[in-house]
Amino acid sequence: MDSTQLSVTCIAPVNIAVIKYWGKRNESLILPINDSLSVTLSTADLCSKTKIIADAKFTDNVMILNGKEENFENERIQRCVKEIKARAAELGSCPKELLEWKIHIESENNFPTAAGLASSASGYACLVYSLAQLYDLKKQEISDIARMGSGSACRSIYGGFVQWQKGIQLDGKDSIAFQVAPASHWPDLHVLILVVNDSKKKIGSTSGMARSVVTSELIKYRVEKCVPQRIHSMTQAIKDRDFSKFAEVTMKDSNQFHAICLDTFPPCVYMNDVSHEIVNYIHEFNRTEGETKVAYTFDAGPNACLYLLEKNVKRVLSFVNHIFPNDNQKSAEYVRGIPVEYESEDVN
Ligand code: DP6
């Protein structure tokens, strides 16, 4: 190799699940107990940006996240780096010495990491995508490696509407994400994020779902009887651009996920009074409008993600601002939905 330094910079988007991933069957490989489905948001709004420099002269590996040094030996970071390098070595996709060079990784989110807005999904997707660019694994399947960083990250590898199939193999090779439909299929589907509280959640997703798997009775019912049917209905709703069906399944799945969190012992309480008020107001809004114009979904936190069609954005925004004037809680942040395919800014 002529040069002694190589650098890549990539950005990766956040995704918001409409059928939630909750529960693992294998903790270390991050293999889920159910399929999940999400919408990848536009990188113009919420995204992670990662720069990786590989240099023959570096003496240490370094990871900086939002300006703060992280432990490079972190198990999840290690798994992603090792797996990508192993694949590059196996395929001979890049010069051998490049794999020996130490790397400096600098990553940042353009939204508060503490806000519970899927920062690990975009963060790990971005890390793995950037590593794949660095070691020239461009056309390879990498969603299974992103999954080893954080489960939901495997869905952020693709734009548009994305399903993560749980897979059945013990080694997790078939636990991968794939695109159900590209963003261009339904360009007028939008997302509005209501930031109810941007402080860090008390129970992280990883420990919350582990506790649910051990203690919740409802979770078994969900996995066997509900999710397969919901994946089917959701896929059909997306194919038909049937907003009313899409909204119904999204809201029911969010509610069931939080019911499981409450069925967990001790319970995981993520939604707060404002979140529950939002749920009530949205049902009331849809009822008085005479049709379903907006759907809510909540991840492991109190913030609401609202899905709606472009033609209803103005009306819903004015309703939201009227009901939740921007006083002590933050109000609506408008995120224009849906994604671009991946971009890598510079590879030199
Ligand atoms: C509620 O992907 O953050 O957002 O795999 O342990 O890193 P780990 O968990 P994570 O869990 C996300 C859970 C969720 C639902 C979803 O995104 O599907």
pLDDT in tens, 105-163: 999 988 765 455 667 899 999 999 999 999 999 888 899 999 999 999 999 999 999 99
CA of 328 to the centre of ligand 1 (A): 28
Tell which atom from ligand 1 comes closest to the C-alpha of 153: 2
Best probe residue, ligand 1, of 127, 152, 154, 222 (max atoms within 8 Å of C-beta): 152
Ligand 1: which of 14, 15, 16, 21 to mutate, most ligand atoms within 8 Å of CB?
21
Pocket around ligand 1: residues whose beta carbon is below 6 Å from it? 17, 20-21, 30, 36, 120, 150-152, 205-206, 299-300
Query: In this model, does residue 288 exceed pLDDT 70?
Result: yes
Average pLDDT, the chain: 89
- Report how far ligand 1's centroid is from the alpha carbon of 208 (Å): 10
Distance 163 CA to ligand 1 centre (A): 14
Tokens at 298, concatenated: 């909540």
Instruction: Compute the CA torsion angle 230, 215, 304, 341 (nearest 10 deg).
Output: -60
Ligand 1 atom at minimum distance from 15 CA: 17
Ligand 1 atom at minimum distance from 36 CA? 18
Strands 5-13 and 47-55: what pairing? antiparallel
% of the chain with per-residue pLDDT over 70: 89
Tokens 């918001």 sit on residue: 16
Q: How many other C-beta atoms can be found within 10 angstroms of the C-beta atom of residue 78?
A: 15
CA distance 128 to 83: 10
Instruction: Say which residue the tokens 């090779």 belong to.
Output: 173
What pLDDT band is residue 342 in, cutting at 50, 70 and 90? Answer: very low
**Most confident listed range (1-15, 35-49, 128-142, 316-330):** 128-142
Distance CA 309, CA 161 (A): 15
The CA distance from 194 to 334, in Å, is 8
Task: Name which residue sits closest to atom 7 of ligand 1, judged by CA.
Answer: 150
Distance of CA 110 to the CA centre of its chain: 15
Task: Quote the tokens at residue 13.
Answer: 């988007």
Q: What angle do CA 88, 15, 155 make, to 5 degrees?
A: 35
Residue 111: per-residue pLDDT: 72
Considering the entire predicted model, what is its pTM?
0.92
- Please state the atom number of ligand 1 nearest to the C-alpha of residue 121: 2
Least confident window among 56-60, 139-143, 153-157, 207-211: 139-143
Task: List the one residue out of 314, 311, 321, 306 whose CA is nearest residue 18.
Answer: 306
Average pLDDT (207-218) is: 98
CA distances from 214 to 174, 183, 203 (A): 24, 37, 16
Q: How confident is the model at residue 244 (pLDDT cuts 50, 70, 90)?
A: very high
The predicted complex's ipTM stands at 0.99
**Tally of CA atoms within 13 A in the half-sphere of 167 that contains its CB:** 22
CA–centroid distance, residue 152 to ligand 1 (Å) = 5
Virtual CA dihedral for 125, 131, 137, 142, nearest 10 degrees? -30
